[in-house]
Chains A and B, each alone.
Chain A
Amino acid sequence: MAEVIKKQRDFHQVSRGWNFILHLIAGIFSFMCVFPFLFVVIISLTDEKTLATDGYRLIPAKWSLEAYRFVFETGDTLLRSYGVTILVTVVGTILSLIMISLYSYAISRKSFPYRRFFSIFAIVTMLFNGGMIPTYMVVSQLLGLKDTLWALILPLAMNAFYIMILRTFYSTSVPEPIIESARIDGAGDFYIFLRIVLPLSLPGLATIGLFSTLGYWNDWFNALLYIDKPSLVPLQSMLMRIESSIAFIQQNSQNSSLSLTALQSIPQDTSRMAMVVLATLPIIFAYPFFQRYFVQGLTVGAVKE
Chain B
Amino acid sequence: MYRPIFLRYLLIGGNKVTAFFKTLIKNKVMLFMVLPGALWFFFFSYMPLVGTIVAFKQYRFTREGFWASIVKSEWVGWDNFKFLFSTNDAYLITRNTLFYNLAFIIIGLVLSVAMAILLSELVGKKLAKVYQTGMFLPYFLSWVIVGYFAFSFLSMDRGMLNQVLGWFGVDAIQWYSEPKYWPYILIFVSLWKSIGYNSVVYLASIMGIDKSLYEAAMIDGASKWQQIKGITIPMLSPIIIIMTLLAVGRIFYADFGLFYQVPRDSGTLYAVTNVIDTYVYRGLKTTGEIGMSTAAGLYQSVVGFALVMISNFVVRKIDKDSALF
A interface, CB within 8 angstroms of B: 8, 11-14, 19, 22-23, 25-27, 29-34, 36-37, 39-40, 43, 51, 55-58, 98-100, 102-103, 105-107, 109, 112-114, 118, 121-125, 127-139, 141-143, 154-155, 157-158, 160, 163, 188-190, 193, 214, 217-221, 225, 236-237, 239-240, 243, 269, 272-273, 276, 279-280, 283-284, 287-288, 291, 294-295, 298-299, 302, 304
Contacts and interface: CB of A to CB of B under 8 A. Distances in A.
A27 B131 contact: yes
Interface in B19-61: 23, 27, 29-31, 33-34, 36-38, 40-41, 43-52, 54
A276 B131 CA distance: 24
Contacts of B152: 36, 39-40, 43, 56, 273
B48 A130 contact: yes
A139 B180 CA distance: 38
B128 to A, nearest CB: 7
Nearest to A123: B325
Contact of B123 (A14, A51, A243, A294): A14
B122 A22 contact: yes
CB-based closest 4 A-B pairs: A130-B48, A134-B51, A131-B297, A103-B37
Nearest to A220: B144
Interface in B238-253: 238-239, 242
B51 A99 contact: no
B186 interface: no
Interface in B106-137: 115, 118-119, 121-124, 127-128, 130-137
B142 A220 contact: yes
Contact of A30 (B46, B67, B131): B131
B283 interface: yes
Contact of B33 (A29, A105, A129): A105
Interface in B290-309: 290, 293-294, 297-298, 300-301, 304-305, 308-309
B197 A26 contact: no
Interface string B276-297: 0100110111000010011001
Contacts of A136: 284
A273 B204 CA distance: 35
Interface of B: 23, 27, 29-31, 33-34, 36-38, 40-41, 43-52, 54, 65-67, 69-70, 115, 118-119, 121-124, 127-128, 130-149, 152-153, 155, 157-160, 162-163, 192, 195-197, 200-201, 204-205, 211, 214-215, 218, 224, 238-239, 242, 256-257, 261, 264, 277, 280-281, 283-285, 290, 293-294, 297-298, 300-301, 304-305, 308-309, 321, 325
A143 B139 CA distance: 32
A278 to B, nearest CB: 11
A133 B294 contact: yes
Contact of B305 (A26, A127, A141): A127
Contacts of B148: 40, 239, 243, 272-273, 276
Prevailing SS type, chain A contact patch: helix
Nearest to B294: A133
Nearest to A161: B246
Given A13-B123, A56-B158, A280-B141, A36 B149 contact: yes
Among A13, A128, A155, the most chain B Cβ lie within 10 Å of the Cβ of A128
A276 B49 contact: no
A55 B144 contact: no
Given A40-B152, A102-B33, A188-B29, A155 B44 contact: yes
8 contacts: A118-B34, A130-B48, A158-B44, A217-B142, A220-B257, A237-B144, A243-B148, A279-B145
Given A103-B37, A113-B27, A304-B321, A55 B159 contact: yes
A129 B45 contact: yes
A121 B38 contact: yes
Nearest to B208: A299
A129 B48 contact: yes
Among A32, A40, A121, A132, the most chain B Cβ lie within 10 Å of the Cβ of A132
B239 A291 contact: no
A26 B119 contact: yes
Contact of B280 (A25, A105, A131): A131
Contacts of A112: 27, 30
Given A11-B218, A276-B145, A130 B52 contact: yes
A12 B228 CA distance: 12
Given A26-B115, A129-B48, A132-B297, A142 B66 contact: yes
A221 B260 CA distance: 10
A133 B293 contact: yes
A240 B192 contact: no
Nearest to A16: B123
A26 B145 contact: no
A7 B160 CA distance: 48
Contacts of A276: 145, 148
Among A219, A294, A298, the most chain B Cβ lie within 10 Å of the Cβ of A298
A283 B140 contact: yes
B45 to A, nearest CB: 4
A276 B293 CA distance: 33
B142 A51 contact: no
A131 B296 CA distance: 9
Contact of B51 (A57, A122, A137): A137
A154 B44 contact: yes
Given A30-B135, A132-B277, A220-B142, A137 B45 contact: no
Contacts of A23: 122, 124, 127
A55 B145 CA distance: 20
A237 B124 CA distance: 41
A213 to B, nearest CB: 11
Nearest to A144: B65
Given A39-B160, A221-B257, A134 B44 contact: no
